Structure 1
């Protein structure tokens, strides 16, 4: 236990003084768990709409449902000339997750991810307010490696495309959302879906192969019940 506390303190200080200017870093805006590992972290790449404040970011601390993320490594990288992580108020990146920000990730209020979330951004990924994310969800806006025609190797044919997830969306466990996907407000994505096409109709269950609207006029009870 003592070793974990020491590692957590070390990771917390390391991240804050790498990611924030000194006058912000001393506020300790991020608290890190003991099993967090960092890639390249560039200073001044995090923006919060309500200003930088203590404990506004939690990295690798929450274990998720059934404690599924317990003892899982969390990896954080925020780098590149255009990279920016924008949050409206607070952000939790649970245990076992990967957050790789090479350009712009925007996260709204009430963001509720489960363990082992993977977000990899090469251009732009945007979450609206009150999004629920199940465990082992992958959201990527690129293919990871550039492809080209063998007769024209200088021309990339699989550029990154922005991902936009609307307000009140519920993305169930083991879902993959691929580049270029846009989801309207209050879209529900079923367990295990691979989403490659956009859905502009709000309040639906959307999935299947190929992706289609499975049911209309559906919203999360916890979001709408008063």
Structure 2
């Protein structure tokens, strides 16, 4: 893992640990800091306007997928993962609308982010032909996102928030240090 991490970040000679089974597409749009660990079977497709930017001391769990674009003709925005952040195993990050994750945020397993939504207002046109809209997702610093949380396009979670396992965060701006939970998610209390 260390040798592959060094080769993938050449000529910058960074200390990273990338499992041999990790697949990275559009490597020219993949930027990585120091001391990053990407575990087995992760898949990263960086094809997008801003690519995939990973800070220092980041951990990406097994089987995690980061997909920045659904189409060659409509590139997405990309993802920025802050320093000291940890993504659990089996996560999915659809970042066509852009995802920004702050520093020192931790996530459980099976977390999914969907920074794009399909338009469906017209009844005379197939949903798949109505296009998409993108607002993006922003997660602050020092947040804890529990297992199996789903976060949808347009959500802003500010610093210090905790999101309970299994929650579906479908809309809104959440104030700092909120404890969020439920389906759909709402503020339960303050930390």
TM range (shorter): 0.7 to 0.9
Q: Deviation above 3 Å: which 4+ runs of structure 1?
A: 28-31, 145-148, 150-158
Whether 2:16 is the aligned partner of 1:46: answer no
Shift of 1:113: 2.1
Question: C-alpha distance in 2, partners of 1:210/1:147?
Answer: 20
Q: Distance in 2 between matches of 1:121 and 1:91?
A: 18
Q: What's the CA shift string for 1:162-205, capped at 9, x where partnerless? A: 10001111100011111111011111111101110123321121
Maintained 8 Å contact 1:76/1:99? yes
Q: Does 1:60 align with 2:39?
A: yes
1:118 to 92, 108, 118: 92
Structure 1 unmatched runs, 5+: 1-7, 62-72, 219-226
Q: Which residue of 2 aligns with 1:137?
A: 111
Q: Within the alignment, does 1:149 sit opposite 2:122 as a pair?
A: yes
Q: How many residues align?
A: 183
Q: In angstroms, what is the RMSD of aligned CA positions?
A: 3.0
**Distance (Å, rounded) in 1 between the aligned partners of 2:164 and 2:172:** 15
Distance 1:210 1:119, change over 3 A: closer
TM-score scaled by structure 1?
Answer: 0.68
Does residue 1:170 correspond to 2:149, yes or no? no
Q: Which structure would you say has the larger Rg?
A: 1
The normalised TM-score by structure 2 is 0.79
2:11 pairs with 1:23: yes
- Give structure 2 stretches of 5+ with no counterpart: 70-76
Counterpart residue number, 1:3: none
In 1, are the aligned partners of 2:39 and 2:62 still within 8 Å (CA)?
yes
Structure with the larger helix share: 1
State how far apart, in whole Å, the 2-side matches of 1:146 and 1:36 are.
33
1:86 aligns with 2:65: no
- Deviations along 1:3-50, one digit per CA (max 9) or x if unpaired, are xxxxx689x38x82xxx6x634xx366532133234x3241x2345xx
